[in-house]
Structure 1
Amino acid sequence: MTEKGTGKESLALYIHWPFCVSKCPYCDFNSHVRETVDQAAWRDALLADLAHEAERTRGHRLSSIFFGGGTPSLMPPATVAALIEAAGRHWTMHDGVEITLEANPSSVEAARFADLARAGVNRVSLGLQSLDDQALRFLGRAHDVTEGLDALATAQRNFRRVSFDLIYALPGQGENAWRAELARALSFGTGHLSLYQLTIEPGTRFAALAAKGELPECDPDHGARLYEVTQEMTEAGGLPAYEISNHARPGEESRHNLAYWRYLSYAGVGPGAHGRRGGAFTRRHRKPENWLKALGRNGHGIEEETPIAAADRAVEALLMGLRLREGVDLARIADLAGGDAPINRDALRRLEQQGLARLEGERLRVLPPGMLLLDRILADLVRV
């Protein structure tokens, strides 16, 4: 998608820092624990990988930078500053470029927030997960509520924009308990919240507990009710949903994540990073040592770079875009497909009659009642 008046395609940049300094309860990168890291060597390697992506995306205008991965908030601020500065040399920056860093709510990481803000980070996404100590223990988190809220306060002092996430529909969590927790979350005044229902993914500790009957799944009707409560309270609190699980004040939406959901171009840098640009999917070597070897051998850390078929691009754009309240432009989807948009028109008519979706001109949206059934709706609506 080209920015109006610039002639330049928008680009989001994802930078993956793979390391955790101790066994990390927040991610699956425990094989990447390092007590010491050669910071100068890693800074140079990330800069080289970034330069390769810049060469492949000439003429793009950078809309966002997102530092994610293992524990990116423990990346040296000098490295963060160097990467931001290099991005500004390689690309034209969008006015007010969004520069986000993912952080765990620990006192160790919060102590670095001021330095990271001076390095150029202007938005932080904090993994609070819950405002209940018992729930945090169930989720396997290392922090408690007090430490998490101290980190949140520090973030709000240092960054112009702050987001945090919570998980709900936990075992035994009733409607009143979730209402109280969400009201407290809204009272902190951040401009963005990510609110996710607990899901049981294969291969996780939760899946093992569920298989042994030690983790009862949330009753679907109860989960639906909690979802409705979430929509009502965030709307009333001035942070309406703009994506199925993400809520923001108008203008505070995550520009970086919108690039994914709107199926815009994004470049991935660092071990394990994915990208989609120039009609191709890229995946970098996940293991840090393999990524470094590839970088030395090829000048980049890419393990796979595969063209995406036009039909697949159209399907991906539909599956991502229909998560958004704004929906998708079917004319653009048809352009991606090189023909008709891959929509089941009979299913669309049924969904419109049921009040679950709406087509206005070329704009297709899943309506709020349909978001409760999004997976089922997408399976019926999108012709794969």
Structure 2
Amino acid sequence: MPFCARACPYCDFDFEVGRGPKLDERAGQWLAGLDREREARAAQLEGQSFDTLYIGGGTPSALSPDRLRALFMWLEQGLGVAPTQLRERTMELNPEHATPALLDVIAEIGIDRVSLGIQSRSAEGLRQLGRAHTPDQALASVAHSVARGLRTSADLIVGWPGHTPALLERELGELVDAGVEHLSIYGLTIEPDTPWPKLVRRGLRVLPSDELQADLLVLVERELLARGFVHYEVASYARPGAEAIHNGKYWSWADVVGLGPSAASVRHADGAVERRVNARGIETWLDGGAPAHERLERDHAAAEGLWLGLRRLTGLDVERLCRRFLVARAWVDARVARQVELGNLVWDQQGRVLRVGDGRWLWHDSIGVDLLG
């Protein structure tokens, strides 16, 4: 859902800024565009089964209740997906939108899990990150969601300039005490084509410190484990049983269908990975802009599968990886040998499971560079 009320200075996602009647008009065009994409991809979608739904953005919670109801009617009547029959139905929300009235609508149409873009509970953090909500709205959004029986996840960004361990401990404690069952934790990443570098040049921001981020990410793990959460994926923590089902598809090599501008679809076939990414920009997408296509053949697909599968800290089933990507066990052994020797990767269960070594999850990206090289 490619609409936001404002542009956050660190974000390079595909979105269009809009409010009020303009946003509602564009949302109607977006819904019509979804149906045109469905028609254009009818052959691919025919017979496709789904068991999870994820509505991301942009800011899906910026849609009006009527547009949300229309979206779910289209999912059922146009796409043939009955949301309440899916294992998990997640929608992203901004805290400033998460009012009792909107959450009642969300629960009514069949959403059972919300992902709240809290990012910070600090007024200074919210100012630096360009967020529209207040610290009080952040906690209120959790309380309203939990009160309606919705599974509640929150995103938190660590390492913005001035972020301190004491402040982060307080943020984590408040969110856990408010009832979140899942937390996604990200270090602040600055992309070159975002407003943040321009603000740095004007003296209005500074670049985040890698050392500070690493220290804070280690603190997150310590605090959340002490509070009964499981660190199940590099950036994800959950109460036991509250792990994200949809997100897990990306780490377990499942096929995924994405609809809308910049949405990605992934299909596995004959050991290869076929990826389709829709045109960026809602206007280009509405005008029928051609998607980008990429095909990774067996070795490259398997290397990417290793990297993705190792995001799960419990590790990956090597035999399943070999079956999925049609590679031999000897290929896996050779590919990971250097990282095993360094202690970054370890074998479990008599060599059946490969996982990131204890405490080495902070280096997942650099491990991935070696595996993909």
Partner of 1:379: 369
Does structure 1 retain, via aligned residues, the 8 Å contact 2:234–2:361? yes
Match of residue 214, structure 2, among 209, 224, 232: 224
| Deviation for aligned residue 1:108 | 7.0
| Deviation for aligned residue 1:234 | 1.0
> C-alpha offsets along residues 57-97 of structure 1, whole Å, 9 cap, x if unaligned?
55543121111122212331222321342477358x89652
* Local SS of the residue matching 1:102: strand
Partner of 1:315: 303
Partner of 1:64: 52
Does structure 2 retain, via aligned residues, the 8 Å contact 1:282–1:305? yes
Partner of 2:345: 357
Change (3 A) 1:159 1:58: farther
Give the residue type in structure 2 aligned to 1:184. Answer: E
Report the count of equivalent residues: 355
Gaps of 5+ in 1: 1-16, 295-300
Q: Hey, what's the Cα distance between the residues in 2 that align with 1:121 and 1:94?
A: 8
Is 1:202 aligned with 2:230? no
Q: Hey, what's the Cα distance between the residues in 1 that align with 2:3 and 2:100?
A: 17
Does structure 2 retain, via aligned residues, the 8 Å contact 1:74–1:109? no
Task: Point out which structure has higher relative CO (alpha carbons under 8 A, 6+ apart).
Answer: 1
Partner of 1:283: 277
Does structure 1 retain, via aligned residues, the 8 Å contact 2:267–2:275? yes
Spell out the pairing of 1:230-249 with structure 2 (5 A cutoff): 230-249=220-239
- Identity across aligned pairs (percent)? 30
Gaps of 5+ in 2: none
Give the residue type in structure 2 aligned to 1:350. Answer: E
The farther-off stretch of 97-106 and 44-53 is 44-53
* Local SS of the residue matching 1:62: coil
> C-alpha offsets along residues 79-130 of structure 1, whole Å, 9 cap, x if unaligned?
2321342477358x89652111111111476642211221111111110111
Match of residue 192, structure 1, among 182, 185, 195: 182
Is 1:18 aligned with 2:2? yes
Give the residue type in structure 2 aligned to 1:45. Answer: G
The farther-off stretch of 164-173 and 22-31 is 22-31
Match of residue 338, structure 1, among 321, 326, 330: 326
Is 1:47 aligned with 2:38? no
Give the residue type in structure 2 aligned to 1:125. Answer: S
Match of residue 179, structure 1, among 169, 173, 179: 169
Change (3 A) 1:144 1:383: closer
* Local SS of the residue matching 1:125: strand
Spell out the pairing of 1:45-194 with structure 2 (5 A cutoff): 45-50=33-38, 53=41, 55-75=43-63, 76-86=67-77, 89=80, 96-107=86-97, 111-194=101-184
Partner of 1:5: none
Change (3 A) 1:244 1:78: same
* Local SS of the residue matching 1:290: helix
Partner of 1:297: none
Q: TM-score, structure 1 length as denominator?
A: 0.82
Does structure 1 retain, via aligned residues, the 8 Å contact 2:91–2:115? yes
Q: Hey, what's the Cα distance between the residues in 2 that align with 1:126 and 1:118?
A: 18
Q: TM-score, structure 2 length as denominator?
A: 0.84
